[in-house]
Structure 1
Amino acid sequence: MNSPTTKIAVFGAGSIGCYLGGLLKSQDADLVFIGRSRLQHAVKQNGLTLTHFQNAPIHLGAEKVTIKTSSSALSDCDLILLCTKSQDTALAAQDILKHAKPGAHVISCQNGIRNVAVLKEELGTAFKVSGAIVPFNVTPNGSASYHCGTGGTLHFEHNLPDDVCLAFNKAGQATQYGGNFEGDQWAKLLVNLNNALNTLSGGTLRESFSQKDYRRAFACVIQEGLDVAKTKDIEVGRFNGHSPKAVIKLLKLPNVLYRILMDHIVKIDAKARSSMLDDLEIGRKSEIEYLQGEIVRQGKILGVETYANSNVLDAINTAFEKGMSPKLSGTEILKLVKK
């Protein structure tokens, strides 16, 4: 007897949502995207295209992609991949309460470490809530086209339905489940602190990391995050197979050694850059409060100094107020974070 097909909603169809949903839809998953009208119009005109720095592109014709602009489309879904920005989690939860069927599984595919707790507080026991760690970078690459510029394994806190897991794997996206999920989520948070630094530099990730002082600045903000986690008795895990402590050692290497090791350890597309920089350039709100802001907030509670992250937080808030990156050099960013 065949297992029932899982009805999936991607709630918050931005770059990550369109990429995850597009992978599933390429394998004929029963899926609806819930997003803005401009996405609906773009897909109607161009279909949905996913590109990857290593894999073959995927193009889905408009007839294969269902996009709704109302959260009422959640009503018959079994699995909800929540891909909104972290600052919109509470509002999204209210829409889920209003429209989704009780018992649906809501998975936070968002940055930060607070979203699952917010969802559980808002949704109560009527829904199953868990987290996911999305390891790769996705940026818009034209109208209804999204480019994945880094690799990694999707990490889910709890198992997915068999048909959803199979669809991801057939689409070429590896998945894993369980383990030290909280620790691995912290590891991702610490690595994601680079989103802000890349936004301050205004260039690609490759351009940023080619500068030794930029890497030293990144090491500083990670170390503060590790200090906060240690004080909280968090066993920080791994992100894309690497611990933040190991990342710090790598970041401090001379340029020649760094480039040799990076070519073997992490593959980064030449065009890849942070989603925060994209948000800045298109006028969206920043997620900084859920990245550097989280480290600073918890540091204040625990009495842990967060000088570097505090300064980055202030600089990002200023950049978003002005609507443009200050385009700082690695040396200037290092001066910002070092006493």
Structure 2
Amino acid sequence: MKIAVMGAGAVGCYYGGMLGHAGHDVTLIGRPQHVEAIQRDGLRLDAPGVDAPVRVTATTDASGVRGADLVLFCVKSTATESAGRELLPFLAPQAVVLTLQNGVDNADRLQAVLPDHQVIPTVVYVATEMVGPGHVKHHGRGELVIGPSPRSADVAAALRAAGVQIDVSDNVLGALWEKLLMNCVYNALSALSQTPYGRLIDGVEVRGAMRDVMEECLAVAAAAGVRVGPSMWNAVERIAVTMPTQLSSTAQDMARGRPSEIDHLNGHVVRKGAELGVPTPANRVLYALVKINEARMQNA
């Protein structure tokens, strides 16, 4: 299968690396410092059972998606529409696009930009990090959940053969909200404290704060008619066990002085809660604190 990864950061390089290691023709589209290293040395995939360079194509240009059967769309949620417009002139008619992103509405937003292509919403649970130019390190998990479509079975088979755990779900919106809940619980707290999940959860009153955020997310989801799984607190605690060394993507963005996706995480819950008449004070405080820190860093 010919595969392109739009937004080859930590998530995109991990899944692109796994597919390239399995023998697929993979093109990574990413930032210059990573592209130059990958062009020179290959992508270093540091994961269980694999710590070796993977030969893939790398480019900074969206034309790298030309001819791809499958596109892994891994850009920040803030760039969904702009990146989609970059891809549009080069997408093959048969191309399937998976949205490996945080947030719950990226597939709908991208589908509006790519009305003639098949866009499949995707939920990602993986802990990864770019530890150097062209070097992706896997910290834990790695499973995907995708929505149903005429091509979902073929896509899932290719990913499973590459060692990726993947499920096709008829309730992918519920799965997206479950992931949104996890991000709302962990991301801002990890960012504001610059603390990985394993240590974060045992901080003073942190579990209580996490429960407050979780309950608000569940209330907003229920008001929106979204069905999520039971025992979400057990799932919250499991994140700290399965990804103990992971700093949230928001924490990584904040440490590098980059804008985060907080508008599409706690910010989304705050806006949706206001729309549905559901109070979200805990999410509002975390959202406000991250935005204050982003503004401070941008003005420094």
TM-score by length of 1: 0.81
- Uncovered stretches (5+) of structure 1, i.e. residues with no partner: 1-5, 251-261, 325-339
Which structure is richer in relative contact order (CA contacts within 8 A, separation 6 or more)?
A: 1
Q: Which residue of 1 aligns with 2:107?
A: 116
Indicate the SS of the match to 2:26: strand
Indicate the SS of the match to 1:101: coil
Change (3 A) 1:68 1:231: same
Indicate the SS of the match to 1:323: helix
Name the CA distance, whole Å, in 1 between partners of 2:51 and 2:123: 23
Q: Which residue of 2 aligns with 1:267?
A: 242
What's the CA shift for 1:26?
A: 0.4
Name the CA distance, whole Å, in 1 between partners of 2:100 and 2:243: 21
Which has the larger strand fraction?
Answer: 2
Q: Which residue of 2 aligns with 1:258?
A: none
Of the two, which has the highest radius of gyration? 1
Which shifted more, 76-85 or 275-284? 275-284
Name the CA distance, whole Å, in 1 between partners of 2:53 and 2:22: 10
Query: 2:53 is matched by which residue type in structure 1?
Result: L
Q: Which residue of 2 aligns with 1:299?
A: 273
The answer (yes or no) to whether the contact 1:24–1:164 under 8 Å persists in 2 is no
Name the CA distance, whole Å, in 1 between partners of 2:51 and 2:158: 14
Name the CA distance, whole Å, in 2 between partners of 1:247 and 1:170: 27
Q: Which residue of 2 aligns with 1:7?
A: 2
Q: Which residue of 1 aligns with 2:192?
A: 200
Matched, 1:146 2:136: yes
Name the CA distance, whole Å, in 2 between partners of 1:234 and 1:86: 21
Q: Which residue of 2 aligns with 1:230?
A: 222
What's the CA shift for 1:191?
A: 0.6
Matched, 1:94 2:68: no
What's the CA shift for 1:25?
A: 0.3
Aligned counterpart in structure 2 of residue 25 of structure 1, from 14, 20, 25 = 20
Name the CA distance, whole Å, in 2 between partners of 1:17 and 1:246: 28
Q: Which residue of 1 aligns with 2:169?
A: 178
Indicate the SS of the match to 1:134: strand
What's the CA shift for 1:162?
A: 6.6
Which shifted more, 38-47 or 226-235? 38-47
Which shifted more, 203-212 or 157-166? 157-166
Aligned-pair identity (%): 32
Name the CA distance, whole Å, in 2 between partners of 1:190 and 1:243: 13
The answer (yes or no) to whether the contact 1:134–1:155 under 8 Å persists in 2 is yes
Query: 2:256 is matched by which residue type in structure 1?
Result: I
What's the CA shift for 1:147?
A: 2.0
What's the CA shift for 1:138?
A: 1.2
Paired residues for 1:52-71 under 5 Å: 52=47, 55-61=48-54, 64-71=55-62
Spell out, residue by residue over 1:63-111, the C-alpha distance to the aligned partner (whole angstroms, 9 max, x if none).
x120011111222112111000000000011112222123321110100
Change (3 A) 1:292 1:16: same
Runs of 4+ in 1 over 6 A off after TM superposition: none
Indicate the SS of the match to 2:126: coil
The answer (yes or no) to whether the contact 2:97–2:119 under 8 Å persists in 1 is yes
Name the CA distance, whole Å, in 2 between partners of 1:312 and 1:225: 13
How many correspondences in the alignment?
296
Change (3 A) 1:163 1:114: closer
Q: Which residue of 1 aligns with 2:123?
A: 133
Name the CA distance, whole Å, in 2 between partners of 1:119 and 1:161: 18
The answer (yes or no) to whether the contact 2:130–2:137 under 8 Å persists in 1 is yes
The answer (yes or no) to whether the contact 2:100–2:124 under 8 Å persists in 1 is yes
TM-score by length of 2: 0.91
Name the CA distance, whole Å, in 2 between partners of 1:268 and 1:127: 34
Spell out, residue by residue over 1:30-52, the C-alpha distance to the aligned partner (whole angstroms, 9 max, x if none).
11111121111122344322223
Q: Which residue of 2 aligns with 1:318?
A: 292
Q: Which residue of 1 aligns with 2:97?
A: 106
The answer (yes or no) to whether the contact 1:153–1:173 under 8 Å persists in 2 is yes
What's the CA shift for 1:161?
A: 6.6
Change (3 A) 1:190 1:95: same
